[in-house]
Each structure stands twice: as C-alpha cells, then as structure tokens.
C-alpha cells in the first residue's frame, strides 16, 4: 500500500468498524514509517474518547483472567471493548495454556470485542510507541473502554501504564513479606490495587500488607504521571483538588468474584480524573512526551537520509575499536551533514 488515498480509505473503513480494516490498520501503525504517519494523521481527530485502562502485575497474577472478566462486565453494559496485550505470558498474546484460551473463547468470538496482542521484543521505546498507536486505532474505531494488559515490573511497562487513564495493579496472595519489596516498585503507578486469587491462602496477608503500605503512603508523596500526588491521602500540593485515595480490592477472577466492585472503582477513578481536571493535565503531559519521541525519531531519520551509509559504518567501526567515543562520533556525524 503505497499511496495515501488507499491509506485514507483503510482508515475510513476502520473508523466505520470493519474488523478487517482495523486489523490491517494496526499492522500499518505497528510497522511505523511514512505509512503509519499518514494513517495516524487521518485517525487522530477521532481519538481521545475511550477510557484507557492499564492492567499490570507479575506473571501468574491472573491478569488475563481478570481482563476477560472485566470485559464481560463492560459487555453487559453494552459497551464495545478493546483489549491490547503486551504480556508475553498472556493467553491474549499467545504464550498461554489451553485452559486460559478456553476461558476467553466467548470473548474472542464477540464482534463487539477486539483483541490485539503486541510483539514484546521490539526495539527500546518502540513498543510503547506502537502500543499507544494501536490503542489509538481501537479508540478511533469506537471501542471504549480499551484494556491494556502488560506484565509488571519493567520500565517500559511503567511507560505503557502511563499511557493509560487508569492503571490497575494486581498482586498475588503472599505467605511472607517477600512480596512487599516488589510492591515498592509498582505501588506508585496503581490507581486501583487488587489482590487476585482471593480464594488462596495468603490473600488476607497480602491485603493487610498492602493496606499498611497505603496508610504509610498517606504522609508521603510519590511520583505519578510525571507530577507529585499522594497515595491514599490528602495531596501535599497547595491549591490542588481533592486527591485520589487508591482503593484496595480483593478479587477471584477465576470465580468471577469482586469484578463488579473492581469495575465500579475503575469507573470512580475515571470520574475523579474528569472532575479534578487531571485527565486533561495527564493528557497534555503524554502529548508532550509523544511529540519529543517523534521529534527524536524524525530528526534521526532526516540525518540518516543525508548521510552516506559508509560514513555511519565507519563511525561504528571507530567506536567499536575505541578509537573514538560514541558522543564524539555522534558529534562528527551531525557536523558532516549540517
């Protein structure tokens, strides 16, 4: 597909809801490059309506079962649901067991549900970009909410979570305090905290430990969406709106227990975002980040077009043999085409 009128037609068909067009458009935006740019430019005015819900947690926490159950709740409300999976262990992404696949079969056959899995081993930064663009496609095509499933604990997962309006962090029941340490790294991105597999021993243990951490957080501001907010307490910023108290819930996704309550908490967070003005504030911060990312990529592309291939290779050789450091080599290459 080379000409932009064909791309325009593809976007129009996707906006009208053609599953085939949505799927092809996702491939186009995932691949990046000039075609992705043309398509995204046309798509863009139609985005920004969907509630983007991130679901993250460690492998085995039951993220996909929970996503499946949440999706069923939204379907019961007559909503069209998008699901994007960037978790290599997820049944949505293909790395899964038969039982999980059976569980979500009904969902996959529902024409008001669109499931897309992302390749997780792209280049640094590429995955966050591609995920955001694929979510934009679902958003533009009228899917709302869009659930984004990622495996927790990685930097790029945190970056992906930051593209969501609401982030659900799932924890597992725990026998000791080992889980505590893990939480230290991931608590800060949770808008809603869930202990899943509540039927297992250790669920109350995990709940108590998390509750204690949330209470501790009351006095402590953490970094969130690029600015300081307070967990489970009153904001420390002067003049700010009433702040969000991260709710802590217990679910058993496999048995469908606690899911309605979870959906309500997510809904409440969405209202909070809208009423406090934070949704726009976060959106603006994300846009600026995205703009910078695109600028970096574009500027490199322009440089490489003007640079003979042999010169880049020669610079790589000089650095690889330590005749020149990478920063000086970059300097030289930029000077060559300026």
- Residues 137-156 binding a second copy (CB under 8 A) are 151-156
Contacts of 188 (CB under 8 A, 6+ apart): 222, 223, 224, 231
Using CB under 8 A, pick the residue from 24, 293, 314, 336 that binds a second copy.
293
Q: Does 17 bind a second copy (CB under 8 A)?
A: no
Q: Does 314 bind a second copy (CB under 8 A)?
A: no
Q: Does 306 bind a second copy (CB under 8 A)?
A: no
Task: Name which of residues 23 to 52 contact a second copy (CB under 8 A).
Answer: 37, 40-45, 47-48
Q: Which of 67, 112, 74, 71 is nearest to 90 (CA)?
A: 67
- Residue 138 near residue 146 (C-beta atoms within 8 A): yes
The conformational region for residue 78 under phi > 0 = left, psi -120 to 50 = alpha, else beta, is: left
Q: Does 299 bind a second copy (CB under 8 A)?
A: yes
Strand ordering across the sheet containing 166-171? 113-117, 81-85, 146-151, 52-57, 166-171, 192-195, 248-250
Tokens found for residue 265: 């908490």
The full length of the chain comes to 338
* Least distance (Å) between residue 261 CB and a second copy: 26
**H helix runs in the chain, sequence order:** 4-15, 19-31, 33-43, 63-76, 98-103, 105-109, 126-140, 155-161, 178-186, 203-217, 259-276, 278-306, 309-320, 326-337
Q: Does 310 bind a second copy (CB under 8 A)?
A: no
Three-state SS for 294?
helix
Q: Does 303 bind a second copy (CB under 8 A)?
A: yes
Contacts of 110 (CB under 8 A, 6+ apart): 75
- Residue 157 near residue 57 (C-beta atoms within 8 A): no
User: Residue 76 or residue 99: which is nearer to a second copy going by CB?
Assistant: 99
Task: Name which of residues 222 to 251 contact a second copy (CB under 8 A).
Answer: 223
User: Residue 260 or residue 319: which is nearer to a second copy going by CB?
Assistant: 319
Using CB under 8 A, pick the residue from 20, 277, 302, 308 that binds a second copy.
302
Task: Tell me the window of 73-81, 195-203, 229-237, 300-308 that interacts with a second copy (CB under 8 A).
Answer: 300-308
Task: Name which of residues 83 to 102 contact a second copy (CB under 8 A).
Answer: 88-90, 95-97
* Least distance (Å) between residue 189 CB and a second copy: 9
Task: Tell me the window of 141-149, 211-219, 252-260, 282-290 that interacts with a second copy (CB under 8 A).
Answer: 282-290
Q: Does 335 bind a second copy (CB under 8 A)?
A: no
* Least distance (Å) between residue 123 CB and a second copy: 8
User: Residue 108 or residue 333: which is nearer to a second copy going by CB?
Assistant: 333
Q: Establish whether the linkage from the previous residue to 145 is cis, with ω within 30° of 0.
A: yes
Using CB under 8 A, pick the residue from 4, 13, 180, 235 that binds a second copy.
180
Q: Does 181 bind a second copy (CB under 8 A)?
A: yes
User: Residue 77 or residue 322: which is nearer to a second copy going by CB?
Assistant: 322
- Residue 262 near residue 192 (C-beta atoms within 8 A): yes
* Least distance (Å) between residue 75 CB and a second copy: 26
CA distance 231 to 186: 12
């Amino acid at each position: 597909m080379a000409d932009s009128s064909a791309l325009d037609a593809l976007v129009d068909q996707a906006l009208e809801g053609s599953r085939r067009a949505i799927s092809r458009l996702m491939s186009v935006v995932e691949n990046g490059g000039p075609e992705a740019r043309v398509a995204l430019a046309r798509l863009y005015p139609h985005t920004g309506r969907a509630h983007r819900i991130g679901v993250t947690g460690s492998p085995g926490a039951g993220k996909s079962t929970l996503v499946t159950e949440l999706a069923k709740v939204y379907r019961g409300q007559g909503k069209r649901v998008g699901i994007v999976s960037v978790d290599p262990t997820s049944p949505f992404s293909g790395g899964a067991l038969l039982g999980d696949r059976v569980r979500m079969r009904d969902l996959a056959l529902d024409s008001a549900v669109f499931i897309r899995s992302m390749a997780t081993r792209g280049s640094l930064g590429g995955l966050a970009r591609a995920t955001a663009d694929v979510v934009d496609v679902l958003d533009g095509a009228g899917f709302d909410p869009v659930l984004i499933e990622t495996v927790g604990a990685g930097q790029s997962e945190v970056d992906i979570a930051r593209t969501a309006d609401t982030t659900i962090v799932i924890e597992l029941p725990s026998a000791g305090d080992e889980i505590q340490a893990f939480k230290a790294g991931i608590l800060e991105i949770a808008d809603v905290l869930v202990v899943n597999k509540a039927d297992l021993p250790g669920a109350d243990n995990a709940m108590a430990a998390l509750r204690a951490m949330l209470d501790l957080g009351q006095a402590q501001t953490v970094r969130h969406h690029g600015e300081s907010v307070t967990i489970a307490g009153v904001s420390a910023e002067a003049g700010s709106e009433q702040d969000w108290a991260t709710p802590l819930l217990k679910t058993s996704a496999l048995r469908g227990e606690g899911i309605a309550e979870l959906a309500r908490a997510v809904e409440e967070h969405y209202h909070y975002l809208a009423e406090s003005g934070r949704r726009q504030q976060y959106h603006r911060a994300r846009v600026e980040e995205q703009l910078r990312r695109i600028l970096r990529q574009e500027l490199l592309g322009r440089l490489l077009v003007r640079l003979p291939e042999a010169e880049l290779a020669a610079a790589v050789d000089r650095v690889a043999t330590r005749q020149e450091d990478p920063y000086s080599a970059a300097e030289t290459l930029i000077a060559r085409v300026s």
